[in-house]
Amino acid sequence: MGLEDAKTEVDRALGPQDRGPAFENAFGGVTSFLRRRYGKDVRGADLAILGVPFDQAVTHRPGARFGPRAIREASTLQPYDPPYGWPFDPLSELTVVDAGDVAFDYARPADFPATLTARVAEILAQDMGTVVLGGDHSITLPILRAYADTHGPISVVQFDAHSDLWRDDDMDRIDHGTFLYKAVKQGLVDPDRSVQIGIRTVTPDRLGMPMIDARAVHEDGPNAVAEEVRRIVGAAPVYLTFDIDALDPAFAPGTGTPVWGGLHSWQAAAILRGLAGLRVVGGDVVEVSPPYDTTGATAIAGAHVATEILCLYAWYRLGR
């Protein structure tokens, strides 16, 4: 298998293949995530990729509704080889299915959270996890409801420029800056076993949530950060949520609320690799807004982050 297969392999996402690398030309074919098989019925899989094209909760620049499509397209650069730096190939050892996008009525945004929770719960009931492609960061709250129903109060490892802990006691409001405040208040998240990485904005009340801000990442280095995250989380089940604005705008300009002084791509990659062994049961990458990035670099970063979450999930699932 290799370059010769690029001559004949195309539209793998429409075929029966569930495992192994893909060699079709990156510029052609159906762009499922990492060229995995498309399938709304995920029975028998180990992990489901789920797109959530919702951005109606942003406070500034919209466009993250186009994130899932852009991340999938960017991911076509990756499935030729195992993810670099990992001692195994998760695409060969796990059955990963791209479950497509969540269907919802864009004209009834108030109905959206329950719709998303139901879809994620349906997948989790099949004894697997999800890697979700967003979408703005409000989508993480309804996802966490499904995960908490399955695992109990869950640990959250959050990469972000913003804490998303701004107070909002109206639980019916949908706001990408308050998802974690509501998740803690509703008992979905265990703040003592959670941690935020890359924060560089002020939050008056952190609700006891540990934080490793962007400056600490720069000064202490990725290995120290990963070690501290592992100490805080311990053996708890972890949901990993990665807001692409955790990266400095130099590396991810295509996002709604960019903040300078953020993580470099290599730092994020090193921290993620350093979390291998955590009990990662699912995750998401959010706030990729392609209209603000003509180069596609932000979607490329998002595709790599999603792949790293997949690797972390596989590492735990396979008992490495």
Distance (Å, rounded) from C-alpha 95 to C-alpha 77?
20
- What is residue 279's predicted lDDT score, i.e. its pLDDT? 98
Check if the beta carbon of residue 25 is closer than 8 Å to that of residue 6: yes
CA distance linking residue 266 with residue 50, whole number of Å:
26
> How far is C-alpha 24 from the chain's CA centre?
25
Enter the tokens of residue 31: 């762009």
Q: What is the pLDDT of residue 4?
A: 61
What is this structure's pTM? Answer: 0.96
Query: How confident is the prediction along the chain (320 residues), in pLDDT tens digits per residue?
Result: 565 667 788 999 998 888 999 999 999 999 999 999 999 999 999 999 999 999 999 998 999 999 999 999 999 999 999 999 999 999 999 999 999 999 999 999 999 999 999 999 999 999 999 999 999 999 999 999 999 999 999 999 999 999 999 999 988 899 999 999 999 999 999 999 999 999 999 999 999 999 999 999 999 999 999 999 999 999 999 999 999 999 999 999 999 999 999 999 999 999 999 999 999 999 999 999 999 999 999 999 999 999 999 999 999 999 98
* Residue ranges of domains in the chain, CATH in brackets: 3-317 (3.40.800.10)
